[in-house]
Amino acid sequence: MGNHFPVGDRSSSKMPLGEDGNAWKKKTSDIKEMYDFKEVLGTGAFSEVVLAEEKRTQKLVAIKCIPKKALEGKENSIENEIAVLHKIKHANIVSLEDIYESKSHLYLVMQLVSGGELFDRIVEKGFYTEKDASKLIQQILDAVKYLHDMGIVHRDLKPENLLYYSMEEDSKIMISDFGLSKIEGSGSVMSTACGTPGYVAPEVLAQKPYSKAVDCWSIGVIAYILLCGYPPFYDENDAKLFEQILKAEYEFDSPYWDDISDSAKDFIVHLMEKDPRKRYTCEQALQHPWIAGDTALDKNIHESVSAQIRKNFAKSKWKQAFNATAVVRHMRRLQLGTSQEGPGQTTPTSPCHGDLLLPEGHENSAAGCDGGCGKSADGSSGLQNCTYRCHPASRV
């Protein structure tokens, strides 16, 4: 059998969905008795996230709606995500507040993060320094250390999964999306290839057994991007991209890195270390002077970094599990007092709103956010125009 552990392999006494026995599930005949559904925030492979208001408290939440029909054969996967989220209580990690089950759906009531995406905030700022990047990375390291201490590996850390808690200037950053996370068994290793190519550690691509160190590599990649605005590895050809990552071939190119401190580069080198045994752990990274000391510079690098982010991380038309931008728009409408949506304005084609589950491959034909994510000119489904995806752009 080797070292192949599929996602969710630890749920040995799994209860089939729809049966009694899972204390974490609350039964409901109609979720809308408790929540007003506002708008669809995004679609995942077999779920949809909806902005909702709890009627009793007027509190806004994000509800992940999962049709049971879509879960056939995937019960382990979703139960893994729920088992992971249920264990987690950390200031920088989106929390799972409640779980409801109806005859047709599973509903995960998630904490709503309303401050938008990491890159959007950086681009919008007028002033941005290494110190800002250091504070962001410190929060991510602290949260991931917490996960690692609990035996949880995230496995898909990337900028799209980093969202601001609120629209406040000094808002904390939050880690979201545990679809690929894995609860490690005692001494277990994983070898399931997963994650997002540009952020994946060499040992994952090499299909070698791996563990917590994969998250530390991804944090190194995120730190690299935060300081220059472009990814350390890029090639239109996936095979060549994988080759670069496998060799851990990256550079601190001039002029983009000329004004970045040696300490920042040293920090990245220790995280983007090819050998996972030599790679910094979260604990070691948190003690590095660039994080714990005062070596992160105060020089404004906003102009260069934001220009590169705009160039290298275009908003792409791929579906996404959570559209942070739609939440920001909704919160702004609330602040302006112009939010008048009623139940009649929810998305009629959405499986969350009682219609038939769409056939496999059409999960995303529900209407998307109200920001131009509608049908394309060729009539294809409205794809969420809301996630950053690397695209070709020569820097030199």
**pLDDT cut 70: percent of the chain above it:** 67
Residue 371: per-residue pLDDT: 32
Instruction: Answer yes or no: is 74 within a domain.
Output: yes
Question: In this predicted structure, what is the pLDDT of residue 320?
Answer: 52
Q: What is the pTM of this model?
A: 0.72
What pLDDT band is residue 244 in, cutting at 50, 70 and 90? very high
The mean pLDDT value for 302-308 works out to 96
- The answer as to whether 293 is a domain residue is yes
Residues 173 and 286 in one domain: yes
In a domain, 138, yes or no: yes
133 lies in the same domain as 205: yes
Q: Is residue 10 part of a domain?
A: no
Q: Are residues 156 and 286 in the same domain?
A: yes
Q: Of 314, 345, 378, at which residue does a domain stop?
A: 314
| Same domain, residue pair 75 and 206 | no
Distant-in-sequence, close-in-space partners of 384: CB < 8 Å, separation ≥ 6: 42, 43, 317, 318, 319, 320, 323, 364, 368, 369, 373
User: Is 333 found in the same domain as 184?
Assistant: no
CA distances from 384 to 116, 218, 349, 364, 387 (A): 15, 24, 15, 8, 8
Q: Same domain for 265 and 355? A: no
Summarize the annotated binding site as residue ranges: 69
The pair of structure tokens assigned to 256 is: 């983009």
Question: What is each CA distance from 3 to 136, 207, 321, in whole angstroms?
Answer: 34, 10, 30
Q: Above 50 in pLDDT, residue 318?
A: no
Residue 21 lies in a domain: no
- The DSSP code for 190 is B
Residues 354, 365, single domain; the answer is: yes
Binding residue numbers for ATP? 69
92 in any annotated domain = yes
Give CA separation, 191 vs 4, 62, 206, 288, 395, in Å. 5, 32, 9, 29, 35
Radius of gyration of the chain (CA): 21
Containing domain of residue 222, as a range? 118-314
- pLDDT for the residue numbered 387: 34
Q: What is the C-alpha to C-alpha distance for residues 164 and 81, in angstroms, rounded to an integer?
A: 22
Range ranked top by mean pLDDT from 10-24, 34-48, 213-227, 329-343: 213-227
pLDDT at 188 over 50: no
Alpha carbons 73 and 351: distance in angstroms, whole number: 19
Residues 298 and 205 in one domain: yes
Query: Looking at the domain assignment, is residue 329 inside a domain?
Result: yes
- What mean pLDDT do residues 330-349 have? 46
Mapping DSSP onto H, E and C, the string for 265-313 reads HHHHHHHCCCCCCCCCCHHHHHCCHHHHCCCCCCCECHHHHHHHHHHHE
Q: Looking at the structure, do residues 141 and 161 belong to the same domain, yes or no?
A: yes
Same domain for 145 and 124: yes
User: Tell me, what CATH number does 295's domain have?
Assistant: 1.10.510.10
Among the candidates 295, 314, 333, a domain finishes at 314
Catalytic site positions: 156
- 83-95 pLDDT per residue, tens: 777 778 999 999 8
Q: Which of 256, 291, 314 is the last residue of a domain?
A: 314
Evaluate whether residue 8 is within a structural domain. no
Looking up tokens 């382990």 gives 76
Q: What is the pLDDT of residues 201-221, one digit of tens each?
A: 889 888 887 789 999 999 999
Domain total in the chain: 2
φ, ψ for residue 144, nearest 5 deg: -70, -35
Q: Is residue 131 located within the same domain as residue 107?
A: no
Judgement on whether residues 131 and 108 belong to the same structural domain of the protein = no
